[in-house]
Amino acid sequence: MDGMKTLHIGIASAGYVKRRMLEIARGGKPLPGEPKLWVSSLESLAKVLSERNMLLLQIIRSSRPQSLTELARLSGRAVSNLSRTLHSLERLGLVAFEEKSRGRKVPTAVYTKVKLECTFAPSRPEAA
Domain layout of the chain by residue ranges = 6-118
- CATH assignment of 6-118, among 1.10.3730.10, 3.40.50.10800, 2.40.10.10, 1.10.10.10: 1.10.10.10
8 A C-beta contact, residue 108 and residue 90: no
pTM over 0.75: no
Check the CA dihedral 27-90-9-127 and report its sign.
positive
Output the pLDDT for position 3.
65
- Helix (H, G, I), strand (E, B), or coil: what is residue 6? strand
Average the pLDDT over each of 7-11, 51-55, 72-76 and give the range with the smallest value: 7-11
Rounded Cα gap, residues 74 and 30, in angstroms:
40
